[in-house]
Amino acid sequence: MRPGWLTMRLAKRVLLGGIALLLVIQLVPYGHSHSNPAVTRAANWPAGPGEEIAKRSCYDCHSNLTRWRWYSKVAPMSWLVQNDVEGGRDNLDFSEWNRGQADLGDVVDQVSGGGMPPLQYTIVHPSASLSSTDKAQLVVALKKLYASDPPPPGGTG
């Protein structure tokens, strides 16, 4: 036997095992609940670019208007996407402005500090990246939104 033959055989087994694992994990039910609940009350954004920036960079996780792309149906990506959307909606949901939301200071800190949108999202969606101008305009719009159309008390954060 040649040493290359053994390596090739092992590589084939590892490849087949990986494919089998990917097929089996598709059976895990988490990550298949791709719902967009009804909008109960949309945030009433002030005039200006804030709403457009938020829709481009935030709404997939922070609203009930999520665009469920093909990879959100394939594990393990489906698990990550589902977790991000559930967490995003729990903290701040522009489609359910009639319930408590994250504290304005926390939201502003996340946007200003570059925590939102998260890196794993902007890698897949480069158009969601926020320039320094986008961040500044979004922060101004968020402050105006919370002042002119405050969510009820009892938010997260």
Given the structure tokens 């969510």, which residue do they identify? 151
24 with 39, same domain: the answer is: no
13, β-bridge pairs: none
**Chain centre to alpha carbon of residue 122:** 10
26 with 41, same domain: the answer is: no
13 with 54, same domain: the answer is: no
HSE of 52, CA atoms in CB hemisphere, 13 A: 6
> pLDDT 10s per residue in the chain (157 long)?
566 777 888 888 888 888 888 877 777 777 777 889 999 999 999 999 999 999 999 999 999 999 999 998 888 989 999 999 999 999 999 999 999 999 999 999 999 999 999 999 999 999 999 999 999 999 999 999 999 999 998 765 4
Q: What is the DSSP string of 74-95?
A: STTHHHHHHHHHHHHHHH--TT
53 with 17, same domain: the answer is: no
Task: Give CA–CA dist 141/145, Å, rounded.
Answer: 6
How many structural domains comprise the chain? 2
Domain that holds residue 113: 32-148
